[in-house]
Amino acid sequence: MNQDIFSPLYTSLQTSQVQLLPLQAEHALALMEVCKDGKLWELDYTSVPHYSQMQTYIAKALEQKSQGLRVPFVVFDQHTQRIVGTTSFRDFLWDVRRVEIGYTWYGESVQRSHINTSCKFLLLQYAFETLHANSVALRTDIRNFKSQKAIERLGAQRDGILRQDALRKDGSVRDTVMYSILKEEWLEVKQHLTELLSR
């Protein structure tokens, strides 16, 4: 990973509504509370750990960051002044300039709000306008219909299904639904997201 390209990501990205702050070990307590907001660990089709495993979860994310595999953030709600979730850049394919957004989860109380749209706007804008990505990918479990609707609402195109490609927390093997946005589609998606956020 080219650290110079990502240097702004080690400070923050922000709008008037949210800040994406680099994930740190000291965010464990706040993310434990986010987990408890809706008992997110009970969802076997997400990457949300049990709140008691949060320090381990963060340590793994920071290790992946040190290996150049992931850039993780916490999501800070500017209105309530609290951390409400986490998200990441991951799976960088520099030869084709492709990056993925993943490891995203929010407390139940802010789901179906402006939070996800605001975060995706910031990440997509950075990917296309600073990293000059050719494409940005997103993925979700085939069982996670709420996530699929949220991704489609952003304007991403459904690419297809990776069959039997990953393990769930309960040990079952999942199918993964893949989505993407291309650089040629970004201006239209950007306008769409701006309109959503202005409502």
Question: Mind listing the pLDDT tens digit for each residue in 110-142?
Answer: 998 899 999 999 999 999 999 999 999 999 999
The pLDDT value given to residue 7: 56
Paired tokens of 80: 């309530």
Residue closest to 115 by CA, chosen among 146, 86, 89, 77? 77
For the chain, how big is the Rg over CA atoms in Å? Answer: 16
Q: What is the per-residue pLDDT for 35?
A: 96
CA distance 82 to 59: 21
In CATH, what number is assigned to the domain containing residue 57? 3.40.630.30
> How high is the pLDDT of residue 68?
87
When divided into structural domains, the chain yields a total of 1
Say which amino acid occupies 137.
A
| Whole-angstrom distance, CA of residue 179 vs CA of residue 8 | 26
- Which percentage of the chain shows pLDDT scores above 70? 94
Rounded to 10°, the helix 114-129/145-154 angle is 50
Who has greater pLDDT, 61 or 170? 61
C-alpha to C-alpha distance for 49 and 61, rounded to whole angstroms: 12
Q: How large a percentage of the chain has pLDDT more than 90?
A: 83
Domain coverage including residue 69? 3-198
Q: Is the pLDDT of residue 47 over 80?
A: yes
